[in-house]
Chain A
Amino acid sequence: MTKPEHRDIGFTLNGEEIRFSGTGTERLLDVLRYRLGLPGTKEGCGEGECGACTVHLDGVPVNSCLILVGQVRNRRVDTVESVAPEALVELHTSGATQCGACTPGVVMTARFVIDHPGLLERASVRQLMAGNLCRCTGYDGIIEGIAEALRQEETSP
């Protein structure tokens, strides 16, 4: 078996241009966690069911366990490490995290919903969050935190 060729793959990670040397077939999740020192993104199932590994690709939530790093060449990847603590106050207050294993993925989807309130014209917060499994909270803490953050966004200038 010949070893696949390694090449440089450039992408924007949390606002910084980076270059990663690999075959391109590595899972984005593994590259983030084990190669680039960003273990905030979690693996929950490895098959795109649980959403724990959610990151933003060009601003849109994706399961990083289903994305090969070759697919993100010249694109923008944002992970939970990019989220400022001020953006998490409502989720902290409402009890959106318990064990924390689903939390980084929940945060990434939640931020997308909060930043795109127009989505709520077509779907409820419960429907929009259905791609992120949580086994601890029963979801109310998550849903209430997002609803409160949406209210804050609405009232802030």
Chain B
Amino acid sequence: MKRREGLAKLMGREAYVDDLTVADCLWGATVRSSCARGRIREVRFGEGFDWGEFVVVDHRDLPGENVIALIETDQPVLAAEAVRHVHEAVVLLAHADRDLLRRAVEAVEVVVEEEPPIFDFRQPPEPAQIQHGNDNVFKELKIEKGDVDKALAKAPVVVEGVFTTGAQEHVYLETQGMLAWVEDGVVTVKGSMQCPYYVQKALKLALGREDHEVRVVQAPTGGGFGGKEEFPSGIALHAALLALKAGKPVKLIYERGEDMVATTKRHPSWIRHRTAVDTKGRLLAQDIEVVLDAGAYATLSSVVLSRAVIHAAGPYHCENVRIRGRAVLTNAVPFGAFRGFGAPQSLFACERQMDRIASELTLDPVRIRRRNLIRDGEETATGQVITDGTDRLKVLDRALELSSFQHKRRAYLDFNDTHPYLRRGVGLATFLHGAGFTGSGEVYLASEVHVAGLADGKVEVRTANTEMGQGTQTVFTQLVTDRLGLKAEDVVIAEPDTARVPDSGPTVASRTTMVVGGLIEKACDDLRRRLGLGNEERGEVLTAALALWHRQHPGEELLGTAHYEPPDGIHWDDANYRGEAYGAFAWATYVAAVEVDLRTYTARVLDFVAVQEIGKVLHEVLARGQIQGGVVQGIGWALLEDFRFKDGAMANGQLTNYIIPTSDDVPPIRVAFLENPYAHGAQGAKGIGELPMDGPAPAIVNAVAAATGADPCTIPLTPERMMSVLEAREVAR
């Protein structure tokens, strides 16, 4: 089956929020802070504007609590007394004339009495810089197994390394946008988002309204990658507040520059490894410290940190592991969800460290991984015994074979000996990614799915899970056609609308196909049960039964339902970080071949192979597209996307100088899948959305190290950084 909404997208007929035409609609805009931290003294409305013509909203217009509801309640909808970052929203304006509105935003001055900001998340705060608790630490986590100190003291070899990664902007091609209106007393918000029920929760709290008084509808969404997980709650509130005050619909669409500077980013990280190994490269102890820059508010940092520490030890078995993590406040824009959710940072450090250990012991980087890769019956850092039966060595071998790894290594040695200024290298990364919410998360979500049997014989899938390009509509359709023996045109995917669909959880964490897809299958079975049919009854029998049921029950609704139930054997101890962190892991090995130009210090990826075991491939084209797209985002994060801060603000908030990969910057991404069906995933599938973000950076940087003999441990590895690591190599010699 081809992507369901594919032709509409190709023809430009998919109506995103900014494409919707609404009568008598105003444009909304946001006035932001003028500095990174301080007390708001005054808001001045400049001369030359008739401010009476504008709808003006500030914190005093909030009917409910001035809080964007998320895990914590620290982030205001609109700053009242104080600001914590330079892009913090203070005042909202609306007007029918968009050009006039743009000029008006410039004419509003937020006067702030500055207080000492803190920008370096590694630096202990001065007393005057403390803004959270007594140390600015939002969250601390610890995983401990065995006796790390003893193992480090006794080990023949200990390798230390420090790794840092930069912020990353999502650059979804459709910027953030919301349309809000009030109809029959119901505040309705429609726009670009991943999680309609997150938005609804935020609207209820800050607008002081009940469930039935707020309605949230997802418009077709032009990319998310985590950037539309939590951020849309705030912009939805802004649009709703303007619409309430204006008594008219309001459209609030971010322009690219505003979107780049003011929205959440991937957390910058600093990670230190101390690894004890024997002379053959067997891991004896892993002592890991993970520090994340959380930015000005808590957002999702505590759970990003959770995923980061759980993935920090990599796909290896080690008896003694200690992982300490903390997420720290700074006065930068709040960092938030981004594909991979902390795992790319910690897996970059882990996999770069594995190559550094191999180099220290003059071991083959393949051999050290082969020796330590977790085997069935062995435990992860949290004590989760892996018993999935996946042949992880086969994943590794397939990647080596497809990439001609050993052949390239030999050939590149000759090439490097003879070429005057080009150096080629090949590098790999082996890794894992846990699918679904961490620990007890899925139990707390308690997702619900409905499959409605309609009178015309069609079946409608009702979930809150959103299509943002990853293929949800197509995969959901396919799951129903396979389960019920229907044609694709007989399956309707309901628009995610909180007035019509149950809360099936957020569209995040690689959970939609695996978890929600599984619930859709169960709801299909329930629908059949309610029709008095057995699980083998399909197709026309079902259609006929639906028609009969509706004749016998005129005006009634027939719903098959399903609720999440955790698989047996899943236990998670959140206090001690022990147990089954995830129901399933996907396993992967990625190989990058890279060429470094010693004249320009640029690195170019020549070849990229991505091999992964993902349970079951439900749709070849969609699954491959997820991997290829994720890999290219990873290439950008590794080499190009250099997020520059100046006093906590993004200094390069334009696509002119924040560089993401073009088609000419990347080679074809060669993808292969291995399958080992997961009993609790839809048709055996495991989640794959985030997995491809984890492997590219370490594989590429390992390849650069192999090409040059340098020891790069910081990304993005821009030409400037490449120059300094190559110069450091010369000094070391």
Binding site for B on A (CB under 8 A): 33, 37, 39-47, 49-50, 52, 79-81, 83, 85, 88, 91-104, 107, 124-127, 129-143
Task: Tell me the minimal C-beta distance from B2 to chain A in angstroms.
Answer: 5
Assembly CA distance A94 to B6 (angstroms): 11
Q: Is B66 in contact with chain A by the CB < 8 A criterion?
A: no
Instruction: Please name the 10 residue pairs, one residue from A and one from B, whose CB atoms are nearest each other, closest first.
Output: A40-B12, A99-B469, A101-B222, A100-B9, A138-B628, A98-B469, A101-B173, A39-B19, A80-B12, A138-B632
Assembly CA distance A122 to B11 (angstroms): 29
Task: Tell me the minimal C-beta distance from B98 to chain A in angstroms.
Answer: 9
Q: Which residues of A contact B624 (CB under 8 A)?
A: 95, 140
Assembly CA distance A37 to B663 (angstroms): 31
Q: Which residues of B contact A33 (CB under 8 A)?
A: 18-19
Using A42-B173, A45-B655, A98-B471 as known contacts, say yes or no to A88 and B7 having CB atoms under 8 A apart. Answer: yes
Contact B631 A138 (CB under 8 A): yes
Which residue of chain A lies nearest to B8 when distances are taken between CB atoms in the complex? A100
Q: Which residues of A contact B7 (CB under 8 A)?
A: 85, 88, 92
Of B236-244, B486-494, B664-672, the stretch lying at the interface with chain A is B664-672
Contact B9 A133 (CB under 8 A): no
Q: Which residues of B contact A39 (CB under 8 A)?
A: 12, 15, 18-19
Task: Tell me the minimal C-beta distance from B170 to chain A in angstroms.
Answer: 8
Q: Per a CB cutoff under 8 Å, which of A40, A79, A94, A139 touches B632?
A: A139
Q: Per a CB cutoff under 8 Å, which of A103, A126, A135, A143 touches B10?
A: A103
Assembly CA distance A47 to B33 (angstroms): 25
Which residue of chain A lies nearest to B667 when distances are taken between CB atoms in the complex? A126
Using A45-B256, A49-B655 as known contacts, say yes or no to A96 and B664 having CB atoms under 8 A apart. Answer: no
Assembly CA distance A52 to B624 (angstroms): 23
Task: Tell me the minimal C-beta distance from A37 to chain B in angstroms.
Answer: 8
Q: Is B38 in contact with chain A by the CB < 8 A criterion?
A: no
Assembly CA distance A143 to B625 (angstroms): 12
Q: Most chain-A CB neighbours within 10 Å: which of B18, B174, B220, B255?
A: B174
28 contacts between A and B (CB under 8 A): A39-B15, A44-B655, A50-B655, A80-B12, A91-B10, A92-B6, A93-B2, A95-B621, A95-B625, A99-B172, A99-B174, A100-B9, A103-B9, A129-B664, A130-B662, A132-B663, A133-B173, A135-B173, A135-B223, A135-B225, A135-B633, A135-B660, A136-B629, A137-B629, A138-B629, A138-B666, A139-B632, A143-B663
Which residue of chain B lies nearest to A50 when distances are taken between CB atoms in the complex? B655
Q: Main SS of chain A's interface residues?
A: loop
Contact A85 B222 (CB under 8 A): no
Give the interface residue-count category, chain B: 35 or more
Contact A95 B3 (CB under 8 A): yes
Q: Supply 9 further A-B pairs (C-beta < 8 A) apart from A104-B10, A107-B12, A129-B663.
A: A33-B19, A44-B174, A47-B656, A88-B7, A92-B6, A95-B625, A99-B222, A133-B660, A141-B621
Task: Tell me the minimal C-beta distance from A123 to chain B in angstroms.
Answer: 9
Contact A41 B12 (CB under 8 A): yes
Q: Is B622 in contact with chain A by the CB < 8 A criterion?
A: yes
Q: Per a CB cutoff under 8 Å, which of B171, B621, B654 touches A94?
A: B621
Q: Most chain-A CB neighbours within 10 Å: which of B10, B256, B470, B622?
A: B10
Task: Tell me the minimal C-beta distance from B697 to chain A in angstroms.
Answer: 15
Q: Which residues of A contact B630 (CB under 8 A)?
A: 138
Q: Which residues of A contact B5 (CB under 8 A)?
A: 100
Task: Tell me the minimal C-beta distance from A106 to chain B in angstroms.
Answer: 9
Task: Tell me the minimal C-beta distance from A50 to chain B in angstroms.
Answer: 6
Which residue of chain B lies nearest to A97 when distances are taken between CB atoms in the complex? B9
Assembly CA distance A101 to B377 (angstroms): 46
Q: Which residues of B contact A99 (CB under 8 A)?
A: 9, 172-174, 221-224, 468-469
Contact A138 B468 (CB under 8 A): no
Contact A133 B628 (CB under 8 A): no
Q: Is B14 in contact with chain A by the CB < 8 A criterion?
A: yes
Contact A138 B669 (CB under 8 A): yes
Q: Main SS of chain B's interface residues?
A: loop
Task: Tell me the minimal C-beta distance from B328 to chain A in angstroms.
Answer: 29
Tally inter-chain residue pairs, CB-CB below 8 A: 174
Which residue of chain B lies nearest to A26 when distances are taken between CB atoms in the complex? B99
Binding site for A on B (CB under 8 A): 2-3, 5-16, 18-19, 21, 170-174, 220-225, 255-257, 468-471, 621-622, 624-625, 627-633, 654-656, 660, 662-666, 668-669
Contact B3 A101 (CB under 8 A): no
Which residue of chain A lies nearest to B669 when distances are taken between CB atoms in the complex? A138
Q: Most chain-A CB neighbours within 10 Å: which of B624, B632, B663?
A: B663
Contact A97 B222 (CB under 8 A): no
Q: Per a CB cutoff under 8 Å, which of A91, A98, A103 touches B625?
A: A98
Q: Which residues of B contact A134 (CB under 8 A)?
A: 173, 663
Contact A140 B173 (CB under 8 A): no
Assembly CA distance A33 to B174 (angstroms): 15
Q: Which residues of B contact A133 (CB under 8 A)?
A: 171, 173, 655, 660, 662
Using A135-B223, A136-B223 as known contacts, say yes or no to A40 and B13 having CB atoms under 8 A apart. Answer: yes
Q: Which residues of A contact B664 (CB under 8 A)?
A: 124, 126-127, 129-130
Task: Tell me the minimal C-beta distance from B12 to chain A in angstroms.
Answer: 2
Contact B625 A88 (CB under 8 A): no
Contact A137 B255 (CB under 8 A): no
Assembly CA distance A127 to B5 (angstroms): 28
Task: Tell me the minimal C-beta distance from B345 to chain A in angstroms.
Answer: 20
Using A40-B11, A44-B256, A49-B655 as known contacts, say yes or no to A97 and B666 having CB atoms under 8 A apart. Answer: no
Task: Tell me the minimal C-beta distance from A71 to chain B in angstroms.
Answer: 19
Q: Which residues of A contact B15 (CB under 8 A)?
A: 39
Contact B669 A140 (CB under 8 A): yes
Contact B172 A135 (CB under 8 A): yes
Q: Which residues of A contact B222 (CB under 8 A)?
A: 42, 99-101
Q: Most chain-B CB neighbours within 10 Å: which of A40, A94, A96, A135?
A: A135
Contact A135 B256 (CB under 8 A): no
Task: Tell me the minimal C-beta distance from B90 to chain A in angstroms.
Answer: 24
Assembly CA distance A93 to B3 (angstroms): 8
Which residue of chain A lies nearest to B633 when distances are taken between CB atoms in the complex? A135
Assembly CA distance A140 to B660 (angstroms): 16
Task: Tell me the minimal C-beta distance from A122 to chain B in angstroms.
Answer: 14
Which residue of chain B lies nearest to A38 when distances are taken between CB atoms in the complex? B12
Q: Per a CB cutoff under 8 Å, which of A49, A79, A80, A136 touches B469?
A: A136
Contact B12 A79 (CB under 8 A): yes
Contact B621 A50 (CB under 8 A): no
Assembly CA distance A91 to B3 (angstroms): 11
Task: Tell me the minimal C-beta distance from A147 to chain B in angstroms.
Answer: 11
Q: Which residues of B contact A80 (CB under 8 A)?
A: 11-12
Contact B2 A92 (CB under 8 A): yes
Q: Which residues of A contact B172 (CB under 8 A)?
A: 99, 101, 135
Q: Most chain-A CB neighbours within 10 Å: which of B14, B630, B668?
A: B14
Which residue of chain A lies nearest to B15 when distances are taken between CB atoms in the complex? A39
Contact A103 B12 (CB under 8 A): yes
Contact B11 A140 (CB under 8 A): no
Q: Which residues of B contact A137 (CB under 8 A)?
A: 625, 628-629
Q: Which residues of A contact B471 (CB under 8 A)?
A: 98
Which residue of chain B lies nearest to A110 when distances are taken between CB atoms in the complex? B10
Which residue of chain B lies nearest to A141 when distances are taken between CB atoms in the complex? B625
Contact B621 A49 (CB under 8 A): no
Contact A143 B16 (CB under 8 A): no
Task: Tell me the minimal C-beta distance from A34 to chain B in angstroms.
Answer: 9
Assembly CA distance A88 to B666 (angstroms): 24
Q: Which residues of B contact A127 (CB under 8 A)?
A: 663-664
Which residue of chain B lies nearest to A104 when distances are taken between CB atoms in the complex? B12
